[in-house]
Structure 1
Amino acid sequence: MAIRLRTLLGDHACTAALKNGTIGSDVVAFDFADYSPTHTGFKPMVREQAFDVSEMAIVTYLMAKNFGKPMVLLPAVVMARFQHGFALYNAKRGTLTPTDLNNKRVGIRSFTTTTGAWLRGILANDYGVDLDSIDWVTFEDAHVAEFQDTTRRAPKGKQIVQMLIDGELDAVLGEKSDHPDLKPLFADVEGEEKSWFARHNVLPINHMVVVSEQLSRDHPEAVRDVFRLLRESAACAPAASPRFSADEMRRSLQMIIRYTAQQGLIPSEVAVDELFDDLTRTLL
Structure 2
Amino acid sequence: MTDLSLKVGVYRYEHTEPMFDGRVPIDGVDATLVTSPLISDVFCEMAKRELDIAEFGLTYFLRTFDLDDSPFLALPIFPNRNFRHSALFVNVDSGIEKPEDLAGKTVGEFALWGSDPGVWMKGVLAEDHQVTPDQISWVIGGTDHPIPAFDWIPQPVPGGVEVRHTEGGETLGAMLEDGEIDALLSVDVPQALIDGSPKIRRLFPDYRSTEQDYYRRTGIFPMMHAVAIRRELVGEPGLVRSVYRAFSRAKDLVQQQYRAGAAKQHMSVITPWFSGLFSDNRALLGEDWWPYGVDANRKAVDTFLRYHHEQGLSKRLLTSDDIFVPALLDT
- Give the TM-score normalised by the residue count of structure 2: 0.79
Match of 1:228 in 2: 245
Deviation at 1:69, TM superposition (A): 2.5
Q: Structure 2: how far apart are the matches of 1:64 and 1:159?
A: 28
Question: How many angstroms does 1:135 deviate by?
Answer: 0.6
Contact 1:72 1:210 in 2 (8 A): yes
Alpha-carbon distance between aligned partners in 2 of 1:141 and 1:2, rounded to the nearest angstrom: 39
In 2, are the aligned partners of 1:80 and 1:207 still within 8 Å (CA)? yes
Looking at structure 1, the residues matched to 304 and 210 of structure 2 have their Cα atoms a distance apart, in angstroms, of 18
Residue deviations 1:115-145 (CA, integer Å, cap 9, x gap):
1110111111111113202110112535763
- Equivalent of 1:272 in 320, 327, 331: 320
Decide which moves more: 64-73 or 113-122: 64-73
Whole-angstrom distance in 2 between the partners of 1:25 and 1:66: 29
Deviations 1:23-79 (A, max 9, x none): 224511221223221122212312x21111100111221221111431111111111
In structure 2, the partner of 1:146 is 154
Superposition deviation, residue 235 in structure 1: 0.7
Measured after TM superposition, the shift of residue 111 of structure 1 is: 0.7
Gaps of 5+ in 2: 142-147, 259-277, 279-288
Please give the root-mean-square deviation of Cα atoms over the aligned residues, in Å: 2.0
Q: Give the partner amino acid of 1:248.
A: A
User: Is the counterpart of residue 192 in structure 1 residue 204 in structure 2?
Assistant: no
Whether the 8 Å CA contact 1:89–1:184 is kept in 2: the answer is: yes
Query: Could you tell me which amino acid in structure 2 is paired with residue 161 of structure 1?
Result: G
Aligned length: 281
Within the candidate set 161, 167, 185, 1:155 is matched to 167
Q: Which residue of 1 aligns with 2:254?
A: 237
Measured in 1, the distance between the counterparts of 2:65 and 2:243 equals 21
Comparing 138-147 with 24-33, which one deviates more in the overlay? 138-147
Q: 1:146 to 1:246 in 2, by over 3 A?
A: closer
1:181-220 → structure 2 map (5 Å cutoff): 181-217=199-235, 219-220=236-237
Letter in 2 for 1:203: F
Q: In the aligned structure 1, how far is the partner of 2:165 from the partner of 2:27? A: 48
Contact 1:64 1:144 in 2 (8 A): no
Gaps of 5+ in 1: none
Percent identity among equivalent residues? 24
Q: Give the stretch that moved more between structures: 142-151 or 84-93.
A: 142-151
168-177 or 31-40: bigger deviation: 31-40
What is the aligned partner in structure 1 of residue 261 from structure 2?
none
Where 1:220 maps in the other structure, the secondary structure is: coil
The verdict on how the C-alpha distance between 1:102 and 1:95 changes in structure 2, with shifts beyond 3 A counting, is: closer
TM (norm. structure 1) is 0.91
Matched ranges for 1:172-183 at <5 A: 172-174=184-186, 175-177=188-190, 178=194, 179-180=196-197, 181-183=199-201
Q: Secondary structure at the match of 2:225?
A: strand
